[in-house]
A and B are shown apart, each in its own frame.
Chain A
Amino acid sequence: MSTAVADPRAERLANLWSRLSAQHVTLGAGCGCMTGGVSVSLEDFELDIADYLWAESERLGETAVVAFLLQPGAIDQQTKPVMHLLTRLETGEADEAVADWLLGRLARTLDSFAKLHGPSSV
């Protein structure tokens, strides 16, 4: 196994997600049927993000990434899987190739969430 190194990219994303995931959005209020209006935080989408990473890594045959993602247990059994993943990456648990793969996708995803949410989140 290659040497595990703490990654400043993970630290940036962990800080970003820490701020962003606490933000609330009101879902369903935009439907013309006028029946919506459920307030959720972006943290509620952690499972979707982690699930996406798992599916992509499986689809592309990234077995080391799959193993890293599932090491704490099944995705849907993990608590705050994205924050936990970022913490593990920040402390250098992953080897370089796995970290690069995950952090590249996490950066694209979380930065996009932040930009959509507005300037206060970026």
Chain B
Amino acid sequence: MAFILPALNTDASAEPAVRVPITVLTGFLGSGKTTLLNRLLRAPDMHGTAVVINEFGSVGLDHDLVDHTQENMVLLANGCICCTVRGDLVEAFERLAQSPEAQRGELRHVVVETTGLADPAPILHTLMGDPRLARHWRLAGVACTVDAFNGMATLDQHTEAVKQAAVADRLLLTKTDLVPPDQLAPLAERLRAINPLAAITNEPDDALQALLGLLDRPSTERVAVQTEPDTTRSFFFPVSAPGTHDPNRHDDHIRSHVIVRDQPLSRDGFMAWLDMIAAMRGDDLLRVKGIVQLADDPEHPMVIHGVQHLFHPPQTLPRWPSDDRRSRIVFITRDIEADDIDATLRIFERRRTRGTRPVPPV
């Protein structure tokens, strides 16, 4: 099947005033994605919400289980998540963009429900990086449901489940009523180890609220990268600072690191380093978020956000969100040591900022 795509207008002034936010809902098979999605769609004030469902198997079923009062529902064809779905996803969003609701400006949110077996990275890559989508849509966030009863075993047995948890902005524990609190704590701790950036909810209403919160999240959500424990802030879990790495956080080969720099970084050097890391180990960079002070523009922090090989174009904030002006970059990686990240950044971070060329000794 061939598609004629609308030409992209490169004139910035022709950009739509508002790009519709997309929230990706992922989670392993049976973790409660569809149940949560139905609750979301029944919530008040959810008009203008479209649903895109990616299913697994020759006969789609999930879409039949979703509340059909929702008109804007698009079912992605089945197929290999790495190739077929990318094209289907672009096509689905182009169809949505042409829908009467979108044309009238009434489409407010889109929720993409992934198949439970999916590595969400290809979907995120498409949503973040495909130029055909960038004009109308923006990725607002990723929520991941985790079955509290089976979650530990699922994480043991399925690397896809670990990756789903690693890329999420919100981890939503489901079926918590089936599990005593003392059994819940180890799962929550393991999830924090996999993804210390994500907030974890364990009450049904909290999960719904967390998902609702993601729908309206601005794309440049403040990067709250903590380096010290701070019990007064509950939205993000603290991340161990260098030298305080928790050796217990080594399950699943997933590790989180925070790189902190007190001095501003060379823009060219930093970007070259980030490029190099992504090129060499993109498969293992599950999530990268950071706020960076650059030597050539220290008053305006640069925010970076990447999933595996793909990074959003860096954004420059109009001001620092707090008094903390250090560069702080959080990596959630698979089998990458913090020391290697740190040692290579040191090579690049001061590139061409050292003043005049030295005079060779006589």
User: B168 to nearest A CB, angstroms?
Assistant: 19
A residues touching B (Cβ–Cβ < 8 Å)? 25-34, 36, 45, 48-49, 51-52, 54-55, 58, 66-67, 70-76, 108-109, 111-113, 115-118
**A114–B269 Cα gap in the complex (Å)?**
19
User: A118 to nearest B CB, angstroms?
Assistant: 7
B281 touches A (CB below 8 Å): yes
A-B contacts, 30 of them at CB < 8 A, read A27-B275, A27-B276, A30-B279, A30-B309, A32-B129, A32-B311, A32-B312, A34-B129, A48-B269, A48-B272, A51-B351, A58-B358, A67-B361, A70-B360, A70-B361, A71-B360, A71-B361, A72-B360, A74-B360, A75-B358, A109-B344, A109-B346, A111-B340, A112-B339, A115-B337, A115-B340, A116-B277, A116-B344, A117-B280, A118-B281
- Chain B: CB-nearest residue to A42: B276
Beta-carbon contacts of B322-353 to A below 8 Å, as 1s and 0s?
00000000000000110111011011101100
Which of the listed residues B131, B312, B346 has the most CB atoms from chain A within 10 Å of its own CB?
A: B346
Pick from A34, A70, A109: contact of B343, CB below 8 A: A109
- Chain A: CB-nearest residue to B337: A115
User: B292 to nearest A CB, angstroms?
Assistant: 15
A32-B128, A45-B347 are known contacts. Are A54 and B358 too (CB-CB below 8 A)? Answer: yes
B272/A33 in contact, CB under 8 A: no
A116/B346 in contact, CB under 8 A: no
Total residues of chain B contacting the partner, CB 8 A: 39
B128/A109 in contact, CB under 8 A: no
User: A111 to nearest B CB, angstroms?
Assistant: 8
B360/A118 in contact, CB under 8 A: no
A34 contact set on B, CB distance < 8 A? 129-131
Beta-carbon contacts of B309-323 to A below 8 Å, as 1s and 0s?
111110000000000
B354 touches A (CB below 8 Å): yes
B residues touching A (Cβ–Cβ < 8 Å)? 128-131, 134, 269, 272, 275-282, 306, 309-313, 336-337, 339-341, 343-344, 346-348, 350-351, 354, 357-361
User: B352 to nearest A CB, angstroms?
Assistant: 8
Pick from B129, B272, B350, B361: contact of A55, CB below 8 A: B350
A116/B336 in contact, CB under 8 A: yes
A45 contact set on B, CB distance < 8 A? 272, 276, 347-348
A28 contact set on B, CB distance < 8 A? 275
A118 contact set on B, CB distance < 8 A? 280-281
- Chain A: CB-nearest residue to B282: A30
Pick from B269, B343, B360: contact of A108, CB below 8 A: B343
7 extra interface residue pairs, beta carbon distance < 8 Å, beyond A30-B278, A31-B129: A27-B276, A30-B275, A48-B269, A71-B361, A74-B359, A112-B339, A116-B277
Pick from B310, B344, B357, B358: contact of A30, CB below 8 A: B310
B313/A32 in contact, CB under 8 A: yes
- Chain A: CB-nearest residue to B336: A116
A31/B347 in contact, CB under 8 A: no
A52/B346 in contact, CB under 8 A: yes
A45-B347, A48-B347, A71-B361 are known contacts. Are A27 and B279 too (CB-CB below 8 A)? Answer: yes
- Chain A: CB-nearest residue to B128: A32
A34-B129, A34-B131 are known contacts. Are A49 and B347 too (CB-CB below 8 A)? Answer: yes
B347/A52 in contact, CB under 8 A: yes
A54 contact set on B, CB distance < 8 A? 354, 358
B354/A51 in contact, CB under 8 A: yes
Pick from A52, A67, A116: contact of B281, CB below 8 A: A116
**A115–B280 Cα gap in the complex (Å)?**
10
User: B263 to nearest A CB, angstroms?
Assistant: 11
A70/B347 in contact, CB under 8 A: no
User: A119 to nearest B CB, angstroms?
Assistant: 10
A48 contact set on B, CB distance < 8 A? 269, 272, 347-348, 351
A30 contact set on B, CB distance < 8 A? 275, 278-279, 282, 306, 309-311
A112/B344 in contact, CB under 8 A: yes
**6 nearest A-B residue pairs (beta carbon):** A30-B278, A112-B343, A112-B340, A27-B275, A25-B279, A32-B129
A72 contact set on B, CB distance < 8 A? 360
A75 contact set on B, CB distance < 8 A? 357-358
A51-B351, A54-B358, A116-B344 are known contacts. Are A29 and B339 too (CB-CB below 8 A)? Answer: no
B358 contact set on A, CB distance < 8 A? 54, 58, 66, 70, 74-75
B129/A116 in contact, CB under 8 A: no
**A24–B241 Cα gap in the complex (Å)?**
32
